[in-house]
Amino acid sequence: MSEPNRDAAVSCAPSHRLGWLLVGVAVCAVVAAHGWYWWRGGQAIEPAPPVLAPRADGLFEVTDEVPRQVLEELRPDRASYIRTRSETGQGRVVGYHFYWEPRSGNANRLHHRPDSCMPLTGWQLEGEVRPVSVEIDGHAVGFNVFPFRSPQGQVLIYWGAYLNGELVELGSGAGLELPTTKLWEYIRTGTRRQSYEVAAFLVPYEGDTPTEEEVRQMANEFFENSAEQLIAVDQKTKRLKD
């Protein structure tokens, strides 16, 4: 081999070794990333079933006849309207329940809330929104209360949004905010699939606002704890005992 060729071969050898080294590092990084995601997948928070279900045997009528415009905008997997009973079958809507099956991206629906949507129909928000706890079937369920004035009079909207079965806090803007601790837990565990649920009922009134007991009685006419939620709680209790 001539001197020029020998020098070229020697100069190329380090670059070849560097190339194989980089390939090896890349392969190790890919394997490590897959292993990390697999481990985090096992740590992910289990998606929760619905918290509530419309009470079919109450004073109100439950129907899955929801306007197409609403379904196209929200795209829930389950949707129900709660109406006053009427001989014509066109009772007044007094509540609703929507549920989205566990999937990634459900958190993107958090910007749909009454103070963003109801003013478009002529309703005016009067006062601050506040969180409350209402007892339904013996279990405390969180709601956010929106005080509105509708064209027909004063109305309180008890509205709950539940991500993976937990009430989502109201933010100061047009959206909702997860508690910081819960958001960090989702990041830490790699939880990317969440169930999402919205349950709401309307309480019209004149003069004094309804008492807690009156609201509790009304809430129990609208909703009950979902059978799926009760089964999940029972199974969790059994696991803790074992």
Concatenating the DSSP letter of every residue in 160-211 gives EEEETTEEPEE-SSSSEE--HHHHHHHHHHT---EEEEEEEEEEEESSSPPP
**60 CB contacts (<8 Å, ≥6 apart)?**
54, 82, 83, 84, 85, 91, 94, 95, 221, 222
Residue pair 201/82 in contact by the 8 Å Cβ criterion:
yes
Q: What are the sequence ranges of the domains in the chain?
A: 1-43, 52-241
Q: What is the pLDDT along the chain (242 residues), one digit of tens a residue?
A: 555 555 444 455 555 666 666 666 666 665 555 444 444 444 455 667 899 999 988 788 899 989 999 899 889 999 999 998 766 556 688 999 999 988 876 666 666 788 888 998 899 999 888 899 999 999 999 999 999 999 999 999 999 999 888 888 775 554 445 544 455 555 555 556 778 899 999 999 998 999 999 999 999 999 999 877 656 545 544 555 55
Residue pair 60/222 in contact by the 8 Å Cβ criterion:
yes
> Which helix (H) or strand (E) element contains residue 22?
helix 3-43
Backbone angles phi, psi at 206, to 5 degrees: -130, 135
In the numeric block, which tokens belong to residue 155?
């109305």
Q: How far is Cα 136 from Cα 225, in angstroms, rounded to an integer?
A: 7
Residue 55 bridge partners (DSSP): none
- Going by their DSSP bridges, the two strands 78-84 and 93-103 should be labelled as antiparallel
**Is this prediction's pTM over 0.85?**
no
